[in-house]
Amino acid sequence: MSQTESTGGPGVAWVPLSPRERRVVGVLAEKGKTTPEYYPLTVAAIVAGCNQKSNRDPITNYDQEDVEDALQSLRKKGASIMVEAGGRVPRWKHTLYEWLKVSKAELAVLIELLLRGPQTEGELRARVSRMESLADLAALQTILEALMPRGLVVYLSPPGQRRGVTLTHGLYPPEELEKVRLAFAATLAAGGDEEAPARVSAARGELSAGALTPAWATEIAAVRCEVDELRNRLEALAADLRELKSALGV
């Protein structure tokens, strides 16, 4: 079976996505879980979600045309649909459950990987908790074991590594995935920290996970996720308000 084939129903297959497509569909899926009251999303809300500063790596500066192009491309590939709302502003939904044949927990894992890229299993578990509850690291690993044979997740760490195991999603085009592998290998060869692939800003005063007990680290990560989600809700409201004003000619 090729890496880009789904193990789902007949005639269903996923294909690699560009960076912009991944960000847009990741935002659709994320907001569908975290702010269902605003879902499906307007283009303005998707733009805001793509460019928000929290829960994103890298930070982007997409405009409406960038997002509309990505949405049309995703629709052609079967990963998104536009919801007609009469004379109102069109809204968009993802179709990743059908497209990838994944469960709710599996999709939550993929959302975090799509929006942030490579990360350790520990980081991933903490971040997924804002969307789906995972009892422990073993619960996450069970999900990853189901996704890996289907090519939806890819491990970057060398076989046999037990701590700081790093992985990413498998929706990259082949040449981009190879660059990700090489970049990670170069980081390890240069003596990079295997347990912290994400860049940590000292200016923000973030504590090292190594200085905290696992329970406190998980608690702090959960609080940060809640704060980020409140910020995201405000950004979504602001985007919808701008869209409404534009439609009313205000």
Between CA 25 and CA 248 the distance in angstroms is 28
Q: Please check the confidence at residue 176 and state whether its pLDDT lies above 90.
A: yes
Provide mean pLDDT across the span 85-103: 90
Percent of all residues in the chain with a pLDDT value above 90, rounded to a whole number: 64
Of 6-20, 153-167, 199-213, which range is least confident?
A: 199-213
Distance CA 60, CA 20 (A): 9
216 confidence band (pLDDT: 50, 70, 90): low
Report residue 190 as tokens.
């240069």
Q: Which residues pair with 153 in a beta bridge?
A: 169
Strand partners, 41: 92
Residue 125 has pLDDT above 70, yes or no: yes
pLDDT for the residue numbered 158: 87
> Which of 148, 154, 152, 162 is closest to 118 using CA atoms?
154
The strand pair at 153-155 and 166-169 is best described as antiparallel
Instruction: Encode pLDDT of 67-82 as tens digits.
Output: 999 999 999 999 999 9
Q: What is the pLDDT of residue 219?
A: 58
Q: Which of 131, 156, 153 is nearest to 142 (CA)?
A: 153
In what order do the strands lie in the sheet containing 119-120? 119-120, 166-169, 153-155
CA-to-CA distance for 223 and 231, rounded, in angstroms? Answer: 13
| Amino acid 199: pLDDT | 38
Q: What pLDDT score was predicted for residue 159?
A: 81
DSSP 8-class letter at 10: T
Q: Please, is 220 exposed, middle or buried when counting C-beta atoms within 10 Å of its C-beta (0-12, 13-18, 19+)?
A: middle
Query: Same topology for domains 19-100 and 105-192, yes or no?
Result: yes
| pLDDT confidence of residue 6 | 41
pLDDT in tens, 18-69: 999 999 999 999 999 999 999 999 999 999 999 999 999 999 999 999 999 9
The region of weakest confidence among 137-151, 160-174, 193-207 is 193-207
Tell me which of 1.10.760.10, 2.60.120.260, 4.10.1240.10, 1.10.10.10 is the CATH number of domain 105-192: 1.10.10.10
CA angle 56, 215, 169 (to 5 degrees): 35
pLDDT, residue 192, reads: 59
CA 29 to chain centre: 8
The more confidently predicted of residues 37 and 220 is 37
Q: CA 18, 22, 106, 143 torsion: positive or negative?
A: positive
* DSSP string covering 63-107: -HHHHHHHHHHHHHHTSEEEE--TTS--EEEE-HHHHHT--HHHH
Q: Provide the mean pLDDT of the chain.
A: 83
**Residue ranges covered by each domain of the chain:** 19-100, 105-192
Q: What's the confidence (pLDDT) of residue 207?
A: 38
* CA–CA gap between residue 137 and residue 135 (Å, rounded): 7
Instruction: Give 8's pLDDT tier (boundaries 50, 70, 90).
Output: very low
Give, rounded to a whole angstrom, the gap between the first and last alpha carbons of the chain.
54
Question: 114 versus 194: which is more confidently predicted?
Answer: 114
Quick one: pLDDT at residue 82?
A: 96
Nearest Cα residue to 39 out of 80, 99, 72? 80
Question: How many Å apart are CA 114 and CA 172, to the nearest integer?
Answer: 10
Of residues 164, 16, 29, 49, the one with CA closest to residue 110: 29
pLDDT score at 148: 97
CA-based angle 145:151:155, to the nearest 5?
A: 60
19-100 CATH: 1.10.10.10
pLDDT at 161: 84
* Residue 247, pLDDT score: 65
